[in-house]
A = this chain, B = another copy of it.
Amino acid sequence: MRAEAAPSYVYAPDLGEAGSRIVLSESETHYLVHVCRARVGDRASATDGRGAVGSLRVTTLQPRVTAEVESVTRATPARRAWVWSGAPEGERADWLVEKLAELGVERWQPLQCERGSWRRGAARLDRWRRLSLAGMRQSRRGVLMEVREPVGLPGGLESVPAEAVRWLASPEGPSRPPDPSPGLSVGAIGPAGGFTPAEERAFLGSGFSPISLSRGRLRSETAALGWALWWGLG
């Protein structure tokens, strides 16, 4: 990539091994050709969104960019985070999704709560998935945050793996949170109106520990971001 071009980082789910040839999707072709102004022979970085990051050399531009995979590095992250979110007010979920992806969260699970429900819809999921991709590209991470369809409580709790460390964002948590642990951590954040006492009991009964992320009362989306930042600092 020439010096004047934007730094390029493409999503290539079928990245494969060094030496293979890949064809980029329509949207990644557009990004590389029209945003980064790539030419034949240019290099770009790519990820499969599942931990592999590689170097590409562009071989053709039309109708889709094809590239040779020059090298691939696979990393298994020592720590993984899932965020379970009640619905924030208005359209605040859009930037929440972008930020969580930027911070390296592996999975985002919207939660239907008594005091806050998510409107369902394929268009919203599609937009969130595009924002997740934009966040991954921005942060040049090797993991694409998975955006899930909303699920209800308490049944949804059953999908948390047994080994996961579980945190419930709560003003009643310790004022100085502990260091985040290795492995998988799941953070649950209530909707704008908060979890009901019954919902809180369901979390606490499922092994979630309360954690306080600020001395003030945070909006739902700020608390979710706070949890992901706390996790990422460790």
Contact = CB atoms under 8 A, between A and B. Distances in A.
A218 B95 contact: no
Nearest to A136: B216
Copies of this chain present in the complex amount to: 2
Interface of A: 95, 99, 102-104, 138-141, 176-177, 213-219, 222, 225-226, 229-230, 232-234
Given A222-B99, A222-B102, A225-B225, A232 B215 contact: yes
Contacts of A218: 102-103, 138-139
B217 A139 contact: yes
Contacts of A176: 233-234
A91 to B, nearest CB: 11
22 contacts: A102-B216, A102-B218, A103-B214, A103-B216, A103-B218, A103-B222, A104-B215, A138-B217, A138-B218, A139-B214, A139-B217, A140-B216, A176-B233, A177-B233, A213-B229, A213-B232, A214-B233, A215-B232, A226-B229, A229-B229, A229-B230, A230-B233
Contacts of A216: 102-104, 139-141
Contacts of A139: 214, 216-218
A231 to B, nearest CB: 10
B217 A229 contact: no
A62 B139 CA distance: 53
Nearest to A77: B215
Nearest to A138: B219
Nearest to A227: B229
Nearest to A226: B229
A36 B52 CA distance: 52
A82 B103 CA distance: 23
Given A103-B222, A138-B219, A222-B102, A214 B230 contact: no
A232 B216 CA distance: 9
Nearest to A92: B95
A38 B222 CA distance: 28
A39 to B, nearest CB: 23
Contact of A232 (B99, B103, B104, B214): B214
A148 to B, nearest CB: 21
A233 B213 contact: yes
